[in-house]
Structure 1
Amino acid sequence: MQATPTRAQALVDNLCAVVSKINAVASPSHPVRLVAVSKLKPASDVLALYKETGHRHMGENYVQELLDKARSLPRDIDWHFIGQLQSNKCRKLAEEIPNLWAVESVDTAKKADGLEKGRAALVAASPEAPKLRVYVQVNTSGEASKSGCDPSEALPIARHIREACPNLQLQGLMTIGSIANSWARGKENQDFLLLKETALAVENELGIKLELSMGMSSDFEQAIQLGATNVRVGTAIFGERPSKRDAKAPENSRKA
């Protein structure tokens, strides 16, 4: 499992270009985590970035693809699951990937409970296993095609995670947002503003500080300017993915 030297160099160059853009809008007082999303790309791509740059935060959209990659790649990679989460897959995801750093797509209390059961089982077998970080995914655009809870539901879900899921750590809120708002020029992204507003309301009620996971290949710079602390970038690093027809699993969202 090894990328060609040409492919490895291209990935390194792409990652460096994204990091440079992030650094141009981030600051020491506003650090930003970059999650490199390798959805439908080979494990050799992830390994090349890992070896050549030391980058550790990697993201996947499909449970089985993440399970396969996590089993074959170095155990100190910090995996993020960012895809649509099915309730019946939650326990498996949380239990079988010790280095799963975060699940960013929790939009119901039921899914949080499934992750809690899985992580509790892992902790029972390996007491040193850390809590699993989770983000509540909010559907800020109101599109039926997007996953995520209604903004009004973010607080009850967040409170449930805090009070009923001792093996989970509430890390923040996440949104995907609409393509129209992402590409709009001359005005601030309304999805990002709504996520920020929702997070402030949750923070005030629970007395905590939350991260904002928002921004992808086409809009991560504006997301950072509006408060993002975690951005999920795939295409700008790994290149275009296979078409829906050729993909191993159906697409669920726009490009990361």
Structure 2
Amino acid sequence: MTSTPETAATTLDQPTMARTTTLLTNLNTVLARISAASSTFPTTSTSTTRRHRPANKPVRLVAVSKLKPASDILALYSPSSLPEDETSLPSTTTTTTTTTTSIPSATQQLHFGENYFQELLEKSRVLPRGIKWHFIGGLQSNKCASLARDVRGLWAVESVDTEKKAKLLDKGWGERDISSLTEEERQQKLRVFVQVNTSGEEAKSGVEPAATPALCRYIREQCPRLKLQGLMTIGAIARSKESSNENADFVSLIETRQAVVESLGMTEQEADDFELSMGMSSDFEGAIALGSDQVRVGTTIFGERPKKAGANAGSTS
């Protein structure tokens, strides 16, 4: 029987030079596109369809590595881990000359996103603890406590859409084995994004925009171990392929964010820190143009991934 991401054991093989070169080239391209999109974003705007992102706050890239081997993640997190005998890769050979290709330089990628609990759990156990993991898939109530308690290096959960799930994450975070944690890690809260169903699709997870302020208030007031980091949306696939920057799902999330800021009476600093996680491989530049703080990019970096039977509707990368 073929193993699924929920049951297959994860092993850590060293990335090859060829694969590392491909991944770093792709990563550099994405980072350049993010930088270009960020440079054209207005630091002040009177438009209600743009979020005023602080000028000194860079856009965070989450590399979505679901269904990809742990070695791909290692290649981007620690490209210097290649064996010494793979410092260059023959690329062209003729009768007179041989040229070599060196590993492209790149900023170390720290943030990685996973959709499936078991796959994330196993990867977190074999990969370096400095990786900052984001859980971005559909969140099941019976996995919440273990997700918060057992995943090493969990930085954020981006798919909270009910009070029950928030409370279970809060409980699990309090049950962590703190013996191996630094004092800073012990005091740190678990960041959570509330997932908003901006497209209104029944197959999509997420809370309705109108109900979002109440859920955010619950997290702030009833979940002391959680930090309300912001709002996340996946949005409709058709809208993500439109050329216009005015993606209706992004506009809806911006408006929902403003409603939360006003409902919770956030200070100016709290509002600046309250983030938008929107934009994927096909539309992240448009999301940045509208003020996204974080984009989730998978296939543009890692290449196409195999289909998984039973996956939630809608891509997260």
Counterpart residue identity of residue 168, structure 2: G
Give the superposition deviation at 1:213: 0.1
Q: Counterpart in 2 of 1:104?
A: 158
Identity over the aligned pairs, expressed in percent?
A: 57
Contact preservation (8 Å) 2:138, 2:312: no
The match for 1:68 among 108, 115, 122 is 122
Q: Counterpart in 2 of 1:55?
A: 109
Question: Which is greater in Rg?
Answer: 2
| Secondary structure class of the residue paired with 1:172 | strand
Q: Counterpart in 2 of 1:158?
A: 216
Give the superposition deviation at 1:252: 4.0
Contact preservation (8 Å) 2:68, 2:305: yes
Contact preservation (8 Å) 1:244, 1:251: no
Equivalent-residue separation in structure 1 for 2:159 and 2:147 (angstroms): 12
1:2 aligns with 2:29: no
- Using a 3 Å threshold, how does the CA distance of structure 1 residues 204 and 255 change in structure 2: closer, same or farther? closer
Q: Counterpart in 2 of 1:42?
A: 69
Equivalent-residue separation in structure 2 for 1:115 and 1:186 (angstroms): 37
Give the superposition deviation at 1:136: 0.2
Q: Counterpart in 2 of 1:11?
A: 23
Bigger drift between 130-139 and 206-215 goes to 206-215
Give the superposition deviation at 1:122: 1.5
- Poorly superposed stretches of 4+, deviation over 6 Å: none
Contact preservation (8 Å) 1:83, 1:252: no
Contact preservation (8 Å) 2:145, 2:171: yes
| Secondary structure class of the residue paired with 1:199 | helix
Equivalent-residue separation in structure 2 for 1:124 and 1:31 (angstroms): 31
Q: Counterpart in 2 of 1:146?
A: 204
Structure 1 unaligned residues grouped into runs of 5+: none
Structure 2 unaligned residues grouped into runs of 5+: 1-12, 40-54, 80-105
Equivalent-residue separation in structure 2 for 1:56 and 1:159 (angstroms): 30
The match for 1:219 among 271, 274, 283 is 283
Per-residue CA deviation, residues 99-146 of structure 1 (Å, 9 max, x unaligned), is 100000000011000100000112766564221000000000000111
User: CA RMSD for the aligned pairs?
Assistant: 1.6
| TM superposition score normalised by structure 2 | 0.77
| Secondary structure class of the residue paired with 1:184 | coil
Contact preservation (8 Å) 1:171, 1:211: yes
Give the superposition deviation at 1:244: 3.3
1:80 aligns with 2:134: yes
Equivalent-residue separation in structure 2 for 1:131 and 1:255 (angstroms): 24
| Secondary structure class of the residue paired with 2:207 | coil
Equivalent-residue separation in structure 1 for 2:312 and 2:161 (angstroms): 18
1:235 aligns with 2:293: no
Give the superposition deviation at 1:187: 5.7
Q: Counterpart in 1 of 2:169?
A: 115
Q: Counterpart in 1 of 2:6?
A: none
Which structure features the higher share of helix residues?
Answer: 1
Counterpart residue identity of residue 165, structure 1: C
Counterpart residue identity of residue 73, structure 2: V
Counterpart residue identity of residue 42, structure 1: P
Per-residue CA deviation, residues 191-236 of structure 1 (Å, 9 max, x unaligned), is 0000000001101122132100000000000000011001000000
Q: Counterpart in 1 of 2:102?
A: none
| Secondary structure class of the residue paired with 1:169 | strand
Bigger drift between 179-188 and 203-212 goes to 179-188
Counterpart residue identity of residue 111, structure 2: H
Equivalent-residue separation in structure 2 for 1:124 and 1:74 (angstroms): 18
